[in-house]
Structure 1
Amino acid sequence: MTNKRVLFLVSLWCINCALGQAKEGYDLWLGYSKIQDSSISEEYLEIAQYVYVQEGTAVLDTAGEELKNGFEKLLGRPQDFATILTNSNTLIVSKRENLALNLSDRFTADFDEIGREGYILKSIQSNGNSVLILSANEDIGILYGVFRLLHLMQTGQKLSSINLVDAPKIDLRMLNHWDNLDRTVERGYAGFSIWNWQKLPEYIDPRYIDYARANASIGINAVSLTNVNANALVLTPMYLKKVTTLANVFRSYGIKVFFTARFSAPVEIGGLDTADPLDVNVQEWWNSKAKEIYGEIPDFGGFLVKANSEGQPGPQNYDRTHAEGANMLAKAVKPFNGTVIWRAFVYSEHDSDDRAKQAYAEFVPLDGKFLENVVVQTKNGPIDFQPREPLHPLFGAMPNTSQMIEFQITQEYLGFSTHLVFLPKLFEEVLDSETYRKEKGSTVAEVVDGTFKSKRITGMAGVANIGTDLNWTGHPFAQANWYGFGKLAWNPYLSSETIAEEWLRATYTNNPKFVEPIREMMLNSREAVVNYMNPLGLHHIFDTGHHYGPGPWVSELSRPAWNPTYYHNADVNGIGFDRTASGSNAIAQYSRTLEKIFGNLETCPKEYLLWFHHLPWDYKLKNGETLWNEMALKYQEGVDQVESMITTWKSIKPYLKRTQYEEVAMLLTIQLKEAKWWRDACLLYFQTFSKKELPLGVDKPSNSLDYFKSLKFPFAPGTRPRWN
């Protein structure tokens, strides 16, 4: 065989592998693989013997097509769908208004409970027949119910006695894309933006439809398309036509579009000489812009705004408050039932106080001053999407303001898309955190879903990890973070364990020999990354700008809060940021109960120790270890945990296709290498202050501190463009 022939066959093999891998990854959790358990498939075939699906609207038609597609793939054959509703049908998918009265009357209380977006899925007896009912008050509830039914079938659940009544606990379940108009993605690690602005509006990439379908399957109902570091051009007529096309695609999946509005747009594209929110001409410009947008997109969601943070323009440029800026925009969209989402992520170079305090200081005095169609969007912690942070002190501190939580799905500070980190574990930890703002009903989840105090708007936002990579998210397991965010936005009381198992079964296999060990691996993965990056409450010690890898030595940047040394304060006396009354007193922003817990070394959780306290290297922890030894052992533990993940992954090789197995295996190899990099670089640097030997059990560094300091990554993915 000639060399050319060999090269051709190798190339063909590589292409076939890539195509196979692409399909596996591209399907996400919606692959609908044929059911292998014959007893289960027989049950489903009996249930699906006759099927009626109500038609008539774009959303209902979408639901019907999804059901047909799912049944054909899961059951291995096409199903006949009836066009007339009779009692002989085995599966009835219909809105309440179209159900026969003898069926509808059975579920009156359920229909009252599920509201606009919920659904009922129940098996009943009717006229001697076993009937499976999927019903809802509105079209969108039917679509969500269809996705839930198909998921239950994917994961081999019994349907013969199903009794499910479900509705979202949060109204606005939103993806925030940090996509730029040039298709770069700030903090995106899965390729370029999927929005091809050059080809829009004429060319509709099928990926837009698949994107909407994936979001609807997990209950996401809103997206902001562009970066919060906004470009005013998205508000111009040319881009409005492009966005209108996307909105038309998303509508049949129940998804509304939001714009990220640049506060200075009246100056940049409107020809005005000011963007002062109290200026009548500025107000009229925004009123006119809102009318123009709603003329093209009647169900436009509203504006998402980042203002007076990291150099972005805002009302403070004109000595106005955040409330005055937000309310101006809120008045513009109110006639169209629009919403303004105003981000609380603010920190200023003009404020020398602890960065962790700035959002609380600026927003709490404004509680009750925002209009009813404004919601304040607050990050889960007071700094910036760190591997671990305490809850943000704003939660529960603004009882008279609608407030939504913002999580980051993309892994800016958690190893990008090369590290396997199951983020629902982080989300769950934050949502379950107790604010102690009142005696009962004051967890972060209860603040977000309105239990704490009834709000007009409830919401949860996630910074998207989606890009043009064949598998959407760069790492196959990063898909679980997108999936898990949607599930928690629907119900913030779900457990991360439940989410992990659901995703594994839908994405890979129902085989418990695969599901059980990999579920445990996922649940432990977030703690691993905390250990090998930021143990014991250390935070923001990442290399500057790109946030790729460790950089605890960085100290020369112009703004103090940009420097890792600002956050760890390591010196010969010890390490940590003193946020007690003797330091920045950030603990005073929390409830009195949390202030006492965090401020007292006897009660402060070990995982937040160096977040709130500066402690000597010889400080003795409750387990008897010195602070230095415990820190070093935690770094080593993180590395050991990644090695354990690799061992676990090797053990499940028989249950996967070769391409599925090898992709994750290679990525875990990268993760282990970088976990060791974090351990060695950080311990060598902190050792220059502690002057102590590494304890037994901690591996010796592979290189010198000078070597680690010399590493540069000018083209690390997801770096913020300089023009931002």
Structure 2
Amino acid sequence: MRGKILLLFFLVFSMPGLMMAESGENLWLRYEKVSNKVLDEYSGLKKIYVEESSPVIEVAQNELMKAIKAMTSVDAVVNKKLAGSSILMGVGLDEKINIQGLKDRLKNCGPEGYVIQTIGTGSDAQVVITANSDAGVLYGTFAFIRMLQSEEDIAAINIVESPKYELRLLNHWDNLNGTVERGYAGHSIWWNREKIFKVLKEHYQTYARANASIGINGTVLNNVNAAPEVLTDEYLEQVVRFANLLRPYNIKVYLSVNFSSPAVIGGLEDSDPLRDEVREWWKDKVEEIYEEIPDFGGFLVKANSEGQPGPQDYGRTHADGANMLAEALEPYNGIVMWRAFVYAPSGDDRAKQAYTEFVPLDGKFHENVIVQVKNGPVDFQPREPFSPVFGAMEETSLMIEFQITQEYLGFSNHLAYLPTMQKETFESDTYVKGPGSTVAKATDGSLFNQKHTAIAGVANIGRDTNWTGHHFAQANWYAYGRLAWDHTLRADEIGQEWLKMTFSNDSAFIDPTLNIMMRSREAVVNYMTPLGLHHLMGWSHHHGPEPWTEIEGARPDWLPKYYHNASESGIGFDRSESGSNAVEQYEEPLASMYNNPKTCPENLILWFHHLPWDYTMSSGLSLWDELCYHYYDGVEEVRLMQKKWDRMQGMIDEERFEHVRHKLKIQSREAEWWRDACLLYFQTFSKMPIPAELERPVHDLDELKKIKFDMTHHN
């Protein structure tokens, strides 16, 4: 009987199409068995030579051995001799291996790049992974593992890579009480956890491995709306533990700090950045941190925005505040990342505020200050033009800030592949030094002589078993890291990598699923905010549509009506010369192009113009009809995503398949909610019918206005 049970077990779990259930907790580091067609080639990876070990090199070595074992069933061993090894890894191998041009290639790698090269053929073949630093070897090792996971040919590798940005960070908006602001995958992985640290060590190592695999080298542990208490002994003790755990993965820790900390926790009468007593307090606090964390990265600061304290409270400038902190950090090579998200009640167009406050300060920041600028001029909308600050500050290090968590794109309920948005920003031309002056070049050091280059992504990570709440939201974490390493990569090739490592190498699965991913963000734009509309979301939760919202006593620019300006005369925000003149902040020819509705890109036309409902679009349709078709196209796209995904059943494990199918069902329902709410509300102004060939709305406007969004459903 026991033999029959074992035989049945073997048959069931070896049958095609039947897979073990998966939770997603291993992210893209699953290390599944490679197919038989490449097994012979990979099974030769039996020996590893390591040139001088270190904690970082040890991580790389152990990861490689783990991956080889899992993918090929081969127990790789460490070989003490250089000759005859299958894989040679370490710093300075150019001094021991005679490979023509290797030394020159390493010179082009910088401090964290790497060279991967195959030398020899057949049984004598060796794979060399070398770099100028232990970190470079770590990243090269993960790149090689990625090739194995994707079942690529390793017989003739010749790769030289280096990161485009020096600092590649995740920003966690995690609060000390364990909640996560704009987080949709459970509570904080860092704060207010009941389990003892030793129990959670493996969990944190998975986080560290995942980030190292995509080249992320820094993490900000707490919310930009920072609690001063994070700088007290109670919390700094925890920061020390996190720093020690992440260090072997070449990840530095950073903290968001509250500008009023000297007064709130230091007992000073104020936090004026030009007062000697305040400056000394920060210097003492920084010294205290570096005594325990010698490689501490530095501070992230949100100041004088949305009620947060800052130097302007004392009549000082952003530069005064940032430079005070920079002076305290400078002896330790620490960095100040000062956010340009300034959202104060100025009375002017919110889209203009960052440029207005920061561009006049160009050249006044210390060298270890980096101004952190959101990708768009407002606030992580499904589509925005790039922020005009990019390219406008030639003497200041600027870093771009993307949001990985989907605050305005359906939270963790909607499939929205974000690299298409990020590439749109990277490739936007600022024209600041003529054609080709892209946002990427304005931030990666190739256009201006910046002291530091950096990029930040607001993390979508929480305590959910699959880390991100939606299995496909993992792709946005992965893709952010890959683009932070190399912004020239294509969104589709990154998506293909992720699918192979996360689900399957089968093209029958990859091709249609990649098509879903690549079309998903535009679908979200269409059913939420087409043609340049923005901020139609509920004013507090930012999820569902509330274009009608009115809150007594609220600032106008907190509410959707401020942005869509719908009336019987038309819709849209006038940022032309006759309106707020935000177009003036862009270089020519962009300023003139955006200023004229006939030349303004139609996917941004209502961002820059208030137009009548019967305005004729390039399609020949009226603006109202064009708007209707976009909203309906968005819904139809999600329905098509559902149909395509249903065909994937049996190609991957049932647990993740059903999870995604359930999420797509929610997304389809909410896409209809968005379409009907926006169109029925705007129709009260346009007085125009929805085109006859389109299906009738499935909701009633009065019914939609009564929907109350339950935030607990998403946390």
Select 1:57's aligned residue among 54, 58, 61.
54
Aligned to 2:13: none
**How many residues of Structure 1 are paired with residues of Structure 2 in the alignment?**
695
Aligned to 1:722: none
Aligned to 2:27: 28
2-structure distance, mates of 1:364, 1:538: 26
Aligned to 1:534: 529
Aligned to 2:12: none
AA at the equivalent of 1:481: N
AA at the equivalent of 1:65: N
Select 2:393's aligned residue among 387, 393, 398.
398
Q: Helix, strand or coil: the match of 2:170?
A: strand
Gaps of 5+ in 2: 1-18
2-structure distance, mates of 1:441, 1:238: 50
Q: How does 1:336-415 map to 2 (within 5 A)?
A: 336-349=332-345, 351-415=346-410
Aligned to 2:542: 547
Q: How does 1:434-473 map to 2 (within 5 A)?
A: 434-473=429-468
Select 1:41's aligned residue among 36, 39, 58.
39
- Give yes or no for the alignment of 1:563 onto 2:559: yes
Q: How does 1:562-641 map to 2 (within 5 A)?
A: 562-641=558-637
- Give yes or no for the alignment of 1:691 onto 2:687: yes
Q: Helix, strand or coil: the match of 2:711?
A: coil
Aligned to 1:5: none
- Once the two structures are superposed, residues 688-715 of structure 1 have per-residue CA deviations (whole angstroms, 9 ceiling, x without a partner) of 0000110133221222211111111253
1-structure distance, mates of 2:398, 2:25: 34
Q: Helix, strand or coil: the match of 2:589?
A: helix
Deviation at 1:660, TM superposition (A): 1.9
Answer whether contact 2:94 2:102 (CA < 8 A) is retained.
no
1-structure distance, mates of 2:615, 2:289: 60
2-structure distance, mates of 1:656, 1:55: 41
1-structure distance, mates of 2:567, 2:26: 51
**CA 1:660/1:102 → structure 2, altered by over 3 Å: closer, same or farther?**
closer
Deviation at 1:310, TM superposition (A): 0.2
Aligned to 1:418: 413
2-structure distance, mates of 1:167, 1:717: 42
**CA 1:202/1:413 → structure 2, altered by over 3 Å: closer, same or farther?**
closer
AA at the equivalent of 2:235: Y
- Once the two structures are superposed, residues 148-186 of structure 1 have per-residue CA deviations (whole angstroms, 9 ceiling, x without a partner) of 111100001001111001110101100000000011000
- Once the two structures are superposed, residues 547-596 of structure 1 have per-residue CA deviations (whole angstroms, 9 ceiling, x without a partner) of 12000001335101001000000000100000000000000001121101
Q: Helix, strand or coil: the match of 1:653?
A: coil
Deviation at 1:410, TM superposition (A): 0.2
Identity of aligned residues (%): 50
Select 2:190's aligned residue among 178, 195, 204.
195
Answer whether contact 2:178 2:193 (CA < 8 A) is retained.
no
Q: Helix, strand or coil: the match of 1:29?
A: coil
Deviation at 1:717, TM superposition (A): 6.0
**CA 1:665/1:718 → structure 2, altered by over 3 Å: closer, same or farther?**
closer
Deviation at 1:20, TM superposition (A): 6.2
Which deviates more, 461-470 or 549-558? Answer: 549-558
Answer whether contact 2:385 2:604 (CA < 8 A) is retained.
yes
AA at the equivalent of 2:606: L
- Give yes or no for the alignment of 1:248 onto 2:244: yes
**CA 1:622/1:647 → structure 2, altered by over 3 Å: closer, same or farther?**
same
- Give yes or no for the alignment of 1:115 onto 2:113: no
AA at the equivalent of 2:43: L
1-structure distance, mates of 2:326, 2:556: 35
Which deviates more, 117-126 or 615-624? Answer: 117-126
1-structure distance, mates of 2:714, 2:258: 21
Q: Helix, strand or coil: the match of 1:257?
A: strand
**CA 1:698/1:127 → structure 2, altered by over 3 Å: closer, same or farther?**
closer
- Give yes or no for the alignment of 1:298 onto 2:294: yes
Answer whether contact 2:544 2:709 (CA < 8 A) is retained.
no
- Give yes or no for the alignment of 1:330 onto 2:326: yes
Aligned to 2:14: none
Q: Helix, strand or coil: the match of 1:602?
A: coil
- Once the two structures are superposed, residues 584-623 of structure 1 have per-residue CA deviations (whole angstroms, 9 ceiling, x without a partner) of 0000001121101111122110100000000000001011
- Give yes or no for the alignment of 1:652 onto 2:648: yes
AA at the equivalent of 2:291: G
1-structure distance, mates of 2:317, 2:195: 37
Q: Helix, strand or coil: the match of 2:120?
A: strand
Answer whether contact 1:123 1:159 (CA < 8 A) is retained.
yes
Question: What is the TM-score normalised by the length of structure 1?
Answer: 0.94
Answer whether contact 2:46 2:75 (CA < 8 A) is retained.
no
Q: How does 1:162-241 map to 2 (within 5 A)?
A: 162-197=157-192, 203=198, 205=200, 206-241=202-237
Deviation at 1:716, TM superposition (A): 4.7
Deviation at 1:127, TM superposition (A): 13
- Give yes or no for the alignment of 1:309 onto 2:305: yes
2-structure distance, mates of 1:106, 1:583: 59
Aligned to 1:81: 78
Answer whether contact 2:412 2:714 (CA < 8 A) is retained.
no
1-structure distance, mates of 2:124, 2:710: 67
1-structure distance, mates of 2:461, 2:117: 35
AA at the equivalent of 1:506: M
1-structure distance, mates of 2:54, 2:86: 23
- Give yes or no for the alignment of 1:483 onto 2:478: yes
Which deviates more, 667-676 or 207-216? Answer: 207-216
Deviation at 1:125, TM superposition (A): 2.9
Aligned to 1:525: 520
2-structure distance, mates of 1:227, 1:422: 24
**CA 1:102/1:128 → structure 2, altered by over 3 Å: closer, same or farther?**
farther
- Once the two structures are superposed, residues 197-249 of structure 1 have per-residue CA deviations (whole angstroms, 9 ceiling, x without a partner) of 45588546121111111000000000000000000111011111110000000
AA at the equivalent of 1:80: V
- Once the two structures are superposed, residues 261-302 of structure 1 have per-residue CA deviations (whole angstroms, 9 ceiling, x without a partner) of 100000110000110000000000000000000001000000
Answer whether contact 1:201 1:241 (CA < 8 A) is retained.
no
2-structure distance, mates of 1:294, 1:253: 19
**CA 1:401/1:218 → structure 2, altered by over 3 Å: closer, same or farther?**
same
Q: Helix, strand or coil: the match of 1:103?
A: coil
2-structure distance, mates of 1:418, 1:540: 19
Answer whether contact 1:179 1:186 (CA < 8 A) is retained.
yes
Q: How does 1:136-155 map to 2 (within 5 A)?
A: 136-155=131-150
Question: What is the TM-score normalised by the length of structure 2?
Answer: 0.95
1-structure distance, mates of 2:694, 2:472: 29
1-structure distance, mates of 2:640, 2:54: 51
AA at the equivalent of 1:528: A
Gaps of 5+ in 1: 1-18, 720-724
- Give yes or no for the alignment of 1:283 onto 2:282: no
2-structure distance, mates of 1:114, 1:673: 49
Q: Helix, strand or coil: the match of 2:456?
A: strand
2-structure distance, mates of 1:319, 1:163: 56
AA at the equivalent of 2:413: T
- Once the two structures are superposed, residues 480-507 of structure 1 have per-residue CA deviations (whole angstroms, 9 ceiling, x without a partner) of 0000000000011111011111100111
2-structure distance, mates of 1:191, 1:637: 32
Answer whether contact 1:87 1:127 (CA < 8 A) is retained.
no
Q: Helix, strand or coil: the match of 1:375?
A: strand
Which deviates more, 703-712 or 198-207? Answer: 198-207
Which deviates more, 71-80 or 127-136? Answer: 127-136
- Once the two structures are superposed, residues 523-551 of structure 1 have per-residue CA deviations (whole angstroms, 9 ceiling, x without a partner) of 00000000000000000010120112000
Select 2:704's aligned residue among 708, 715, 718.
708
Answer whether contact 2:495 2:514 (CA < 8 A) is retained.
yes
- Once the two structures are superposed, residues 341-364 of structure 1 have per-residue CA deviations (whole angstroms, 9 ceiling, x without a partner) of 000000112x10100001100000
Which deviates more, 174-183 or 118-127? Answer: 118-127
AA at the equivalent of 2:78: F
Answer whether contact 1:306 1:345 (CA < 8 A) is retained.
yes
